[in-house]
Amino acid sequence: MPDTTTPNYHWPPMADRRVIGKSHSRLDGIQKASGAAKYNSDIKPDGMLFGAILSCPHAHARVTSIDTSGAEKIPGVTAVRVIMGPGKEVQWGGAEVASVSATSEEAANDAVKAIKVEYEELPFLVREDDIGKAGNRAKAAGEQVTGDPDKAFQEAAYTNEGDYGIPVITHCCLESHGGMVAWDGDKVTYWPSTQNVSGIGGDLGRAINVSAANIHVHQDHIGGGFGSKFPADLWGVEAAQLSKQSGGKPVKIFLDRKTELLIAGNRPSAFGHIKVSADKDGKITAWESKTWSTGGLAGGGLSADLFPYVYRKVPNRRINHTAVSTNTGSARAWRAPNHEQASYLTCSAIEDLAAKMKMDPLDVFLKNADLTMREEAYTSQLKKAAELADWKKNWHQRGDSGSGPVKRGLGIGVGTWGGAGHASQCQATIHPDGSVEVELGSQDLGTGTRTIIAMVAAETLGLPVSAINVKIGDSTYPPSGASGGSTTVGGVSSSTRKATVNALDKLLAAVAPSLGTTPDKLEAVDRRIVVKGDTSKSLTWEAACRKLGTNKISEAGENNPRTAPREGLNTGGVAGVQIADVSVDTETGIVKMNRLIAVHDCGLVINPKTAESQIFGACIMSVCSALFEERVADQQIGRVLNPDMEFYKLAGIMDIGEIIVHLDISPENDKRGVVGLGEPPAIPGDAAIGNAVANAIGVRVPQLPVTADRVLAALASKGGNA
């Protein structure tokens, strides 16, 4: 009978796990921290050529002439390509106009400078913060009305109106965007920096007319992606074309930092005027938002559907959203696309309402938890976060923060996300010598994917993590989804679990006769195949594998998002709450992070160590965007003023305060299966920090980042006193 039953893929019970759920150091950690890890921006095969891109300096212009003869004369230049010829219209600053390849990087850069382009400058819009100036570049989506907001506002005991804004920020991946491409006859090899090892070959192939089957993609490590590195992009295509024109030699193009910040993706802005009301008990009764945002030329960006965020079930709502088309680089997915913005606007409005009602915002968030889709989760998370923040002791009424110049405040932010596993295939192979390999066309963004794959395989096969040879980062391995939307851990853990269960079942069937039993009576534990309940009858792992003779076992496993929900290995749908604790110097306007407390749904946690790191990292990104990051564009000249890391500011090691992570690892959460943690903790921080500042200084600083000048301006607007 056991031979005909469906294999048992379920995660072992919590108490029985030997590897999963125990912290394990990342497998590539020593390689990375000794500089031995080779990124595709590090590699330099013999004969490699350096590619470079000429970018358009104007926000909107038509190319009237382009002369590449100067570039072609530079010694070492192997190819020059015009991307935007005469008559072509360039729609944003930094856009690619021409490309070159040369034997040295210096020659390539000289060649770019030697290309003469004449432009006819055209009208542009590069700022969207004042929607009154957007003119016909603003496209309103239809109004959505639910219930009777007008009546509800009339009857409300309290109503607050406020303006809020969060600017465009950029991904600023430390390894810039780019890659290397080489041709060998009609075959192409591509070494990109990508979140999409299995899919990016097809994307390049469509652009250069080569079938995906003839494109080999390889990437061992990626230096940051955050949602911006899925496609091959024009620079990948240009690397391929330059290589082709240079006899197939590898051509490497990685964008310089300026170009990377201008065109390689960003997070859309969000601005809004929000009106929210409550009854005398603080129950929210009505919501009205007029929001706008830009995601570049296509407008895009935010969706009206996200408002009010998390507190979805406000009974009376009027929602308007306008997309503003600007002549700036296009938005890309940015770690929880649009959720940070929606969280910031919504939670700011709720906090301001609470301040108007002179109520504790914690009570208001709690009291209205029934307006969320997961009342119990938010209630328990709010309480847990408040406990960790010692909220009752440290919170005070807005602005009631003592007579000294430094004011302390607390603020709350909430978030939600999906995060179920993506489509993933895994091939697990057990060799007769006992070695094990698992292959997936996946990638490790630094999230620890490599390590959790090995942990799942080790758990299933009763082996130490070090015995698993994890092979990822190559398009010859079974396809696995792109790493976006917190879907990787669920996808690869499930496919690896299934493949290794299948392989183990084959091994048990092969060795059962020699142990005088049937496969269903066997299990793999501590490098041995043992008869359940009779440890005297066993084989070492190696002895068991020798019984395979010359035949290796190679089995596949697949996570299919359609069937995954009923299989229960992974799931999506998470809640999260963060509380920020800040001190603001009202004389200088400088905000100092004291603590950021993060409480998140986590499902079954495979590796607590790297899971915690994900949350630390996401919280730090929130500190960056709440206090430092802003793409600043000038409408007079049509330029982004800070496409560099000196003036496009990120937080440093001294700027982040303390971060306290609460992973709710419990049997109840564990039952839900594996859930992605990449985006969820990146969501609530902006709102929490903004609210904490308002609580500290007694007045809302409407726009992020909360820079010193904005703090001082906000204080001045209310009369200079905190």
Partner 1 sequence: MSESDSKVPNKPPKTKPDFSRRGFLKGVGISGGVLSTGVLEPVAEAESTAKVDGPGAVPITLNINGKAHKLEVEPRVTLCDALRNRLEITAAKRVCDRGTCGACTVIINGKAVYSCTTLAIDAQGKRIETLEGFSTPAHPHAITKAFLDHDAEQCGYCTPGFVVAAKAFLDHTPNPTEADLKTGLGGNLCRCGTYMGIRKAVMQAAKEMKSAKVAKGTAHA
Which stretches of the chain bind partner 1, using CB under 8 A? 25-26, 28-39, 41-42, 44, 50, 104-106, 172-176, 221-226, 256-258, 445-448, 609-610, 612-613, 616-621, 624, 644-646, 650-654, 656, 659
Contacts of 49 (CB under 8 A, 6+ apart): 78, 101, 102, 103, 108, 242, 243, 246, 249, 250, 251, 252
In the complex with partner 1, which residue's Cβ is closer, 497 or 631?
Answer: 631
- Name which of 327 and 443 has its Cβ closer to partner 1: 443
Q: Nearer to partner 1 by C-beta: 557 or 617?
A: 617
In the DSSP assignment, the letter for residue 719 is T
Of 176 and 372, which has the nearer Cβ to partner 1?
Answer: 176
CB nearer partner 1, residue 223 or residue 272? 223
Q: Which is nearer to partner 1, 129 or 655 (CB)?
A: 655
Q: How far is the CB of 374 from partner 1 (least distance, A)?
A: 26
Q: What DSSP string runs through 523-591?
A: EEETTEEEETTEEEEEEEHHHHHHTTTTPPEEEEEEE-TTTHHHH-SB---EEEEEEEEEEEETTT--E
- Least distance in angstroms from the C-beta of 598 to partner 1: 11
For residue 469, give the 3-state DSSP assignment: strand
Rounded distance between C-alpha atoms, residue 111 and residue 51, angstroms:
10
Nearest residue (CB) to partner 1, 15 versus 653: 653
Closer CB to partner 1, 351 or 629, in the complex? 629
What is the nearest approach in angstroms of partner 1 to the Cβ of residue 581? 16
d(CA 192, CA 394): 49
Q: What phi and psi, each to the nearest 5 degrees, are found at residue 615? A: -70, -45
Give least dist CB 145 to partner 1, A.
40
What's the alpha-carbon Rg for the chain, to the nearest Å?
A: 28
Nearest-approach distance from CB 450 to partner 1, in angstroms? 11
Work out how close the CB of 713 gets to partner 1 at its nearest, in angstroms, rounded to a whole number.
26
- Long-range Cβ contact pairs of 35-40 (< 8 A, separation 24 or more): 37/220, 37/221, 38/220, 38/221, 39/175, 39/193, 39/220, 39/221, 39/222, 39/223, 40/179, 40/180, 40/191, 40/192, 40/193, 40/218, 40/219, 40/220
* C-alpha–C-alpha distance, residues 369 and 615, integer Å: 23
Least Å distance between CB 30 and partner 1?
A: 5
Q: Which residues pair with 67 in a beta bridge?
A: 116
- Both tokens of residue 268? 């859309």
Dist. CA 427–CA 499, nearest whole Å: 6
Q: How far apart are CA 538 and CA 525, in angstroms?
A: 10
Identity of the residue, 523 or 585, whose beta carbon is nearer to partner 1 in the bound complex: 585
Quick one: 98 or 621, whose CB is closer to partner 1?
Answer: 621
CB of 697 to partner 1, least distance (A): 25
Coil, helix or strand at residue 389: helix
**Interatomic CA distance for residues 381 and 577, integer angstroms:** 6
Q: Please state, as a whole number, how many other Cβ atoms lie within 10 Å of the Cβ of residue 317.
A: 20
Cβ at position 45, least distance to partner 1 in Å? 10
Which residues, at least 6 apart from 431, have a Cβ–Cβ distance to it below 8 Å? 437, 545, 548, 552
Closest approach of partner 1 to the CB of residue 260, in Å:
9
